[in-house]
Chain A
Amino acid sequence: MKIHIKNGRLIDPARGLDEKQDVYIAAGKIVGIGGAPNGFSANRTINAAGMVVCPGLVDLAVRLREPGFEYMATLESEMEAAAAGGVTSLACPPDTDPPLDEPGLVEMLKFRARTLNQAHVYPVGALTLGLKGTHLTEMAELTDAGCVAFSHADAPLTDNQLLLRALQYAATFDFPVWLRPQDAGLARGGVAHDGQVATRLGLAAIPVCAETVALSTILLLARETGARIHLCRLSSAEGVDMARQAKQLGLRVTCDIAVHHAHLSEMDIGYFDPNCNLTPPLRSQRDRDALRAALADGTVDALCSDHSPVDEDAKQLPFAEAEAGATGVELLLPLTLKWAEEAGLALPRALARITCDPARVLGINAGSLALGSNADICVFDPARYWKVEPRALRSQGKNTPFIGLEVKGRVRYTLVDGQVVHESTQAGA
């Protein structure tokens, strides 16, 4: 299949490129930019006039809910949602049931994902067996099976001796470890940021120190062991400050935030909106502003969807009992564009946080449109408004705090390895 994408505005954040250029694709690779290679004759021409052509998005946290949580979502539904969101590479956290703690599970997931022929799936393996925090997993075997990193997802890891050894072991083979900093004791029982909203609504609180205490432990152990650490879902101003200092000290640390935390604060809980029950909790407006600034200045390497489809019944409960999480993989692009517009950032800089930067965190060859690279491409209409509503979402999860919001930016074509895996017409949103 040879594809010619013509008349589009080509943005390749990795090279800071933003200009009108045609793209030529053959055998799953980009074979020409600007001009066609000799003898190229397209089987298909995509007219991208008025649209942006950028690398397919790389999302560091998409829960596909398989195995074990098929009542919430299935691989089919969520892979389709990812394609509709322009996502061509995604990392999935190990918090499935059973967790991704043995090679057979990882191979099965990779196999199932491959047969769907959509986004590339990069499993993040469990750091400990069953995510129970007591026994290390076979990290080398899991890596052979396809894991790109090891994480404890949102499961508590209370034993610092075990954490030290996990980091030592991972550092032996230079396996990256992804950790969401949260001290289990300080967060115990909490469901909302320890601030004025939790005080007013009478919700049990999670203080910022639950994040910073865990962060200081992780950073000290990172220095001790030399392990490569990725900090997931930072939520506070103090948290990103600590990440900034760690980077200045030369620690091998990267970090991300979830797209919800770039836009929302505790105030959005309003009158107990269970869609705002998120992990970590939405913090103060000051925290949100600090996260946005850190995302803009590059302290925060990547913006991810932290996609967590939840079934309706699990959300129709009192706030504290509602299952945490929000669907988001289809909103990553429009919410990134919204952030860019509000922050006055040029598109290439903003798109870097959802393309080449997360690809660098993952250590994969993606997120770029250089000649010869894989043809993972997102073509979107940057001016198209659409309303976030249940029927507009492919994900089985309809749970998002952004329900009802008009957003700008609609994916028209998603290509993975030179194949069109998603397209939407101009008429149907």
Chain B
Amino acid sequence: MFLNNNPQLNKNGELHHLLSIDGLPAEILRRILDTAQSFVGVTRREVKKVPLLRGKAIFNLFFEPSTRTRTTFEIAAKRLSADVINLAIMASSQTKGESILDTVANLAAMQADMFIVRHAESGAPHLIARHVGADIHVINAGDGRHSHPTQGLLDMFTIRHYKKDFTRLRVAVVGDILHSRVARSHIHALTTLGVPEVRVIGPKTLLPSHVEHLGVHVYHDMAKGLKDVDVVMMLRLQSERMQGAFLPSPQEFFKFYGLTADKLALARPDAIVLHPGPMNRGVEIDSDVADGSQSVILPQVTFGIAIRMAVMSLLAGKTPR
């Protein structure tokens, strides 16, 4: 009952860790987006490096396998001139029974400046952040069903890039909301940045109870849910959820909740389509849409590097050692 102080902010209300979008004020989100904007130019230059994090040691601490997210963090760190060490913990000490905190304490003793953490359990980055020294920063790269804040931010960056003003938008998040850390990050980011209408669309088995408390409107019917939206945010359906107690089959899911050109036609004509990847073509999204003119899925990936550069530089760029 005493862990209620926002663990992401320092005493001055500045961002010290990035653990979740939940609980961050809009100014901080906008500052990250603005900083990322300045890095978009860097990523397009011939020499793609800036020296903001020169001499800093950044540990990619992945307790759950990931290629894409880990790679984008690695590229972002290298463009900031940091030293990057990749650790796939699954394959090493965890299998020998070493606790997360022991692993982290050992790495901290190697003069780490930042941990990028991915873990299968919700809250693992919070646990690490509570136990590291005050000069170490923690970035959540996805924890269980809880949060994936840099994905949420890069999607906000993408939306702002194409739509400019959050306060006039209608946004739908579609698919497996229950198990999705990305969806939770979207919802918090969209509502914090002033989007007046956020919808979630999915079958009842894939929507968490009380999801409306997060400030969203619930739809089970894709046609109604997509009507007149400006942004469609598709979610990845994990293969283990495609058949069993949550859903009978991927085909039936696609029939009702897969994004096809017909369904997308119900949205506003200039609506954009996002997907965090990797896509299951023919399960949550049709190839025509994924590769179509309204898709901004590849720009998302590019912006992802700028967002991660922004977060890392805002956290560690100002800390003297």
Q: Which residues of A contact B (CB under 8 A)?
A: 194-196, 198-205, 207, 264, 268, 270-274, 276, 313, 316-321, 401-405
Q: Is the CB of A320 within 8 A of B144?
A: yes
- Asked if B137 is an interface residue, CB under 8 A from chain A, the answer is no
- Asked if B150 is an interface residue, CB under 8 A from chain A, the answer is no
Which of A195, A274, A403 is B2 in contact with, Cβ under 8 Å? A403
Per-position binary interface string of chain B over residues 35-78, scored 1 when its CB falls under 8 Å from any chain A CB and 0 otherwise: 00000000000000000000000000000000000000000000
Per-position binary interface string of chain B over residues 90-115, scored 1 when its CB falls under 8 Å from any chain A CB and 0 otherwise: 00000000011100000000000000
Question: A407 to chain B: closest CB distance in Å?
Answer: 13
How far, in whole Å, are A403 and B2 apart by their CA atoms in the complex?
A: 8
Kindly list chain B residues whose C-beta atoms are within 8 Å of the C-beta of A207: 209
Kindly list chain B residues whose C-beta atoms are within 8 Å of the C-beta of A321: 121
Q: Is the CB of A201 within 8 A of B209?
A: no
Kindly list chain B residues whose C-beta atoms are within 8 Å of the C-beta of A202: 122, 143-147, 181, 184
Q: Is the CB of B121 within 8 A of A273?
A: no
Q: Is the CB of A199 within 8 A of B210?
A: yes
Q: Is the CB of A201 within 8 A of B122?
A: yes
Q: Is the CB of B210 within 8 A of A272?
A: no
How far, in whole Å, are A360 and B181 apart by their CA atoms in the complex?
A: 49
Q: Tell me the count of chain B residues lying within 8 A, CB to CB, of chain A.
A: 31
The closest CB in chain A to the CB of B123 belongs to A272
Kindly list chain A residues whose C-beta atoms are within 8 Å of the C-beta of B100: 317-318
Q: Is the CB of B145 within 8 A of A203?
A: yes
Which DSSP category, helix, strand, loop or mixed, fits chain A's interface?
loop
- Asked if B170 is an interface residue, CB under 8 A from chain A, the answer is no
Kindly list chain A residues whose C-beta atoms are within 8 Å of the C-beta of B181: 202
Question: B191 to chain A: closest CB distance in Å?
Answer: 12
Kindly list chain A residues whose C-beta atoms are within 8 Å of the C-beta of B210: 194-196, 199
Question: B176 to chain A: closest CB distance in Å?
Answer: 12
How far, in whole Å, are A53 and B88 apart by their CA atoms in the complex?
A: 60
Question: B8 to chain A: closest CB distance in Å?
Answer: 9
Q: Is the CB of A317 within 8 A of B3?
A: no
Given contact pairs A199-B209, A200-B22, A202-B144, A316 touches B101 in the complex (Cβ within 8 A): yes
The closest CB in chain B to the CB of A320 belongs to B121
Q: Is the CB of A318 within 8 A of B22?
A: no
Kindly list chain A residues whose C-beta atoms are within 8 Å of the C-beta of B184: 200, 202
- Asked if B298 is an interface residue, CB under 8 A from chain A, the answer is no
Kindly list chain B residues whose C-beta atoms are within 8 Å of the C-beta of A317: 99-100, 127
Which of A200, A270, A319 is B4 in contact with, Cβ under 8 Å? A270
How far, in whole Å, are A299 and B6 apart by their CA atoms in the complex?
A: 39
- Asked if B275 is an interface residue, CB under 8 A from chain A, the answer is no
Kindly list chain A residues whose C-beta atoms are within 8 Å of the C-beta of B11: none
Kindly list chain A residues whose C-beta atoms are within 8 Å of the C-beta of B6: 271
Which DSSP category, helix, strand, loop or mixed, fits chain B's interface?
loop
Kindly list chain B residues whose C-beta atoms are within 8 Å of the C-beta of A276: 1
How far, in whole Å, are A318 and B145 apart by their CA atoms in the complex?
A: 13
- Asked if B119 is an interface residue, CB under 8 A from chain A, the answer is yes
Q: Is the CB of B211 within 8 A of A268?
A: no
Q: Is the CB of B209 within 8 A of A319?
A: no
The closest CB in chain A to the CB of B19 belongs to A271
How far, in whole Å, are A42 and B14 apart by their CA atoms in the complex?
A: 66
Kindly list chain A residues whose C-beta atoms are within 8 Å of the C-beta of B144: 202-203, 318, 320
Q: Is the CB of A199 within 8 A of B123?
A: no
Q: Is the CB of B214 within 8 A of A271?
A: no
The closest CB in chain A to the CB of B2 belongs to A404
How far, in whole Å, are A64 and B224 apart by their CA atoms in the complex?
A: 57
The closest CB in chain B to the CB of A403 belongs to B2
Q: Is the CB of B208 within 8 A of A313?
A: no
Q: Is the CB of B1 within 8 A of A401?
A: yes
Q: Is the CB of B121 within 8 A of A271?
A: no
Can you name 20 A-B residue pairings with CB atoms under 8 Å?
A: A194-B210, A199-B211, A199-B214, A201-B122, A202-B143, A203-B146, A204-B145, A268-B1, A271-B3, A271-B123, A272-B126, A274-B127, A317-B99, A318-B123, A318-B127, A318-B144, A319-B123, A320-B144, A402-B1, A403-B2
Q: Is the CB of A273 within 8 A of B127?
A: no
The closest CB in chain B to the CB of A204 belongs to B145
How far, in whole Å, are A194 and B211 apart by their CA atoms in the complex?
A: 11
The closest CB in chain A to the CB of B23 belongs to A271
Kindly list chain A residues whose C-beta atoms are within 8 Å of the C-beta of B321: none
- Asked if B250 is an interface residue, CB under 8 A from chain A, the answer is no
- Asked if B317 is an interface residue, CB under 8 A from chain A, the answer is no
Within 8 A of A (CB), among B112-166: 119, 121-124, 126-127, 131, 143-147
Kindly list chain B residues whose C-beta atoms are within 8 Å of the C-beta of A318: 100, 119, 121-124, 127, 143-144
Kindly list chain A residues whose C-beta atoms are within 8 Å of the C-beta of B4: 268, 270-271
How far, in whole Å, are A324 and B308 apart by their CA atoms in the complex?
A: 36
Inter-chain pairs besides A205-B209, A318-B124, A320-B122, 18 sampled, C-beta below 8 Å: A195-B210, A196-B210, A196-B213, A199-B210, A199-B213, A200-B213, A202-B147, A264-B1, A268-B1, A271-B123, A271-B126, A272-B3, A317-B100, A318-B123, A318-B127, A318-B143, A320-B121, A320-B144
Kindly list chain B residues whose C-beta atoms are within 8 Å of the C-beta of A402: 1
Q: Is the CB of B1 within 8 A of A270?
A: yes
